Amino acid sequence: MEKHPKDWRFAQANKEALLTLGAYALYFIWWYVCAYGMGSGDPDQYEYVFGLPEWFFYSCIVGYPLITILLWALVRFKFKDMPLDEEVDEINEEKQS
């Protein structure tokens, strides 16, 4: 396999991918704990929030806006806008020579 030259864009893309996977893992854990933790009992014993079972309300209704805000913050503060074409690097290298 051919190794890519040291390029800050690869490091940034890897960092962004790991942040995205971490956010998804956090959301999945939230959903799983709420859905199976609160919803694993007898349905007659469920508690309700706004007419919905508590497990559904917290896993789906509350979880979705929370992950949306988290993803917005990640994109806003951690992701960087970067050029994706090689020509920019080649032009910069020629100017430095």
Residue pLDDT, tens place only, 68-85: 999 999 999 999 998 878
In a domain, 49, yes or no: yes
Task: Give the range of the structural domain holding residue 50, as residue numbers without chain letter.
Answer: 27-77
In a domain, 83, yes or no: no
φ, ψ (nearest 5 deg) of residue 52 = -110, 150
Number of neighbours of residue 26 by Cβ within 10 angstroms: 13
Model's pTM, two decimal places?
0.73
Residue pLDDT, tens place only, 3-52: 656 778 888 999 999 999 999 999 999 999 998 988 888 888 889 999 99
In a domain, 11, yes or no: no
In a domain, 44, yes or no: yes
| Count of domains forming the chain | 1
CA distance 61 to 65: 7
In a domain, 47, yes or no: yes
